[in-house]
Structure 1
Amino acid sequence: MSKIKKLTGSFRYTHWDPCLIISQIVAMQFVLYLTLCILIAVMQDLTSSTRTLDHLFQYHEIHVKDNEGRSVILAFVLNAIIGALVLWTLVGRTKLCLDFSCTFYGIHLLFCWVYNGSFPTTFSWWALNIACAAITCVAGEFLCLRTELQAIPLSNIGAKVDL
């Protein structure tokens, strides 16, 4: 009975593996923060401003008043697109993209909260992070779905199957 239950149901055999999930979360956090740091460093070089962690975690750094603030916003949006590629590479499952993108931005919220000592209240910070989470999730789902919907090669058609 258990063998039949394993064979029926979904296309993939799924097994809850907390070590895999935690390692994927840690890998996503590391890669996305690394790329965000690189993007912000490049943007700050282009705008001739000083490099600081405030650009990653301070709420008031996200604004459109000057080139420095716009470069931070651009870095976050580009990182969201890179995040979709990271989701596709590390996770590879369409139905998990929302979970992992919300986890990344939820952890980012906690880091910002701790760094600032207060909960974020600026509209620009929330709008940017929600938009980036949506970009990461939707683009990641698009990439994963394209991979999941590829045709399964049937090279052994007509081969004898032993049961």
Structure 2
Amino acid sequence: MARRRRPPRPGALADLSPTRILSQIVVLQVAYYACAAILIVFTALVAGKEINTDLLLSWRSLRGDTTIGWTLGLIWLLNSLTCAVFILLLIARSKLVLDFALTMHFIHLIVTSLYSHAIPTNLFWWALQVCSASIMTSLGVWACQWRELRPIQFGGNKPKTTTGRPAANGSAEDDGVGQSRGRGRGRGRDGAGEYEMVGMNEAGEAV
């Protein structure tokens, strides 16, 4: 008799499908460069510097002996903080954050090398990539874990009170076990038979 195969976990194929992963990588990479470009253009306009694509794609612009190099380094670190938010919104799984963060920086290495026609040899550039990947990974994992550990809230009615205090409209509230206050019918706590409650006057006689 053939052994029955265990059905896949719901959502597993959708989460690990190559098409979905590829689309997430493309969206994250576009957001990575878009946020960096906005920050670089804004900073260049404020500082009165010339805007060109070297500031975004060339590794030679990131130098530790110039003011522009340090400014670009701070911009890329700030960009890593922004991309952690995109990872939270698009990935939302803490165990995948490291893979996507390293993939983004690896693609950036390829793009930078192709644009500059050389592999980066600047130690400042490599140190910046390590810091950026570390910040993006640590912040992304923390944010995703915070989202994963949030308690799930289900809609429903409010829990009934068990004190038996009268409600605002003057009628008595149900105590949650089938008993009622005042005159009326009810069922015992053990479910054995029904009984009828009657009012009592001040002398202790049944009304």
Equivalent position of 1:110 in the other structure: 110
Contact 1:47 1:67 in 2 (8 A): no
Counterpart of 1:139 in structure 2: which amino acid?
A: L
Contact 1:64 1:70 in 2 (8 A): yes
* 1:135 maps to 2:135: yes
Q: Deviations over 1:97-142 (max 9, x none)?
A: 0000001000000001101111111100000011101111110011
Contact 2:64 2:124 in 1 (8 A): no
Distance in 2 between the 1:44 and 1:13 partners? 45
SS of 2:12's partner is coil
Counterpart of 1:133 in structure 2: which amino acid?
A: A
Distance in 2 between the 1:46 and 1:66 partners? 18
Bigger relative contact order (CA 8 A; separation at least 6): 1
Distance in 1 between the 2:37 and 2:135 partners? 19
Distance in 1 between the 2:108 and 2:35 partners? 14
Q: CA deviation at 1:155?
A: 5.3
SS of 2:99's partner is helix
Mapping for residues 70-89 of structure 1, pairs under 5 Å:
70-89=70-89
Aligned-pair RMSD on alpha carbons? 2.0
Contact 2:63 2:122 in 1 (8 A): no
Distance in 1 between the 2:38 and 2:86 partners? 15
Structure 2, unaligned runs of 5 or more: 157-207
Equivalent position of 2:58 in the other structure: 58
Mean alpha-carbon deviation: is it higher for 76-85 or for 60-69?
60-69
Contact 1:24 1:90 in 2 (8 A): yes
Equivalent position of 1:35 in the other structure: 35
After TM superposition, the score normalised by the length of structure 1 is 0.85
Contact 1:49 1:68 in 2 (8 A): no
Distance in 2 between the 1:22 and 1:6 partners? 22
Q: Which runs of at least 4 in structure 1 moved beyond 6 Å after TM superposition?
A: none
Q: How many residues align?
A: 152
Q: Which has the higher helix share?
A: 1
Distance in 2 between the 1:154 and 1:40 partners? 44
Equivalent position of 2:182 in the other structure: none
Q: CA deviation at 1:20?
A: 0.6
After TM superposition, the score normalised by the length of structure 2 is 0.68
Distance in 2 between the 1:6 and 1:119 partners? 43
Distance in 1 between the 2:118 and 2:72 partners? 21
Counterpart of 1:112 in structure 2: which amino acid?
A: T
